[in-house]
Structure 1
Amino acid sequence: MLQLLQDIALGRVDATPIQVRAAVAAVQYTHHKKGEGGKKDEQAEAAKKAANKFASMAPPARLIVNNQK
């Protein structure tokens, strides 16, 4: 549907007003607006990425001393 609307806008396809209205109504269900994706979800995803950058490293394995007498 989005491709059809782009073709209509560029003049590649002639469509009736009813076809345009139907395409606009259908594209709302197939392509989400950025605001509809969830602002909180987007912030949570960004927070997870930032948390991975600053994650603490695992402690070193057991140290072995070679010069014991």
Structure 2
Amino acid sequence: MAVDDGEQILGKHKETPILVADGLFDAKQVDSDFSEVRHFLPDEIADYVLKVIRQYPKGFTESPTAANG
């Protein structure tokens, strides 16, 4: 396990730290997992969370550093 501290992009605001297995955020898996349990939240919150997950750089395939490098 590793902590993605949210500080990969110089000159931008710090992002929220998250615990990840290999040091990368697997947005595609998180999207899938969250979609399965979103019904526990109000629609406006679940929609917002999915929107943010889906904004991850390069459609889930690269770390933010690689995507903005």
Q: TM-score, normalised by structure 2?
A: 0.29
More helix by share: 1
Q: Which has the higher contact order (CA 8 A, sep 6+)?
A: 2
Compare the two structures and name the one with the higher strand fraction.
2
When the two structures are superposed, what TM-score results if normalisation uses the length of structure 1?
0.29
